[in-house]
Amino acid sequence: MISTGLARALRDAGLSWTPRSGDRFHIDRHELDADVFTVSELTIEAHEYPSGTVLGFNGTTEWALDSVDLGDTLWLPHEDQLRDLLRTAFRSLEVIDDGYRVTIELAGQRTPFESISAPEAYGLALLAVLERLHA
């Protein structure tokens, strides 16, 4: 799973989220940073309204939360989602001594991104792509 800091940087760089079953997210409030939620048709469903998307908590018994606006959440994309978002820029994933290296091609140049986890390396690469797109 990617770090909250990287997820926030990706969102701030323009990564948008359309919730799907199985997606993980934080509620973007400091007191809830340790809690990871999963969109599930049984417990947390995405409801589309003209005013925006709301994540509804169905039958939640831990604490009283009926719904949360999508803007108050922080998506934690899975490794495969990050790889898919890189699209044609993705070149390779390698295991290295202390983690993983993702290489992408950006502006005709191959650029590596390393981290202790594969999802984090993918996320760093995607952040570079988004920053270049929005520069």
pTM of the model: 0.82
Q: What pLDDT, in 10s, does the model give residues 43-75?
A: 677 878 888 888 777 665 455 556 678 888 999
Query: DSSP states of 95-114 as a string?
Result: EETTEEEEEEEETTEEEEEE
User: Distance of alpha carbon 129 from its chain centroid, rounded?
Assistant: 14
| CATH of region 79-133 | 3.30.160
Ranges of each domain in the chain: 18-76, 79-133
Q: How confident is the model at residue 118 (pLDDT cuts 50, 70, 90)?
A: very high
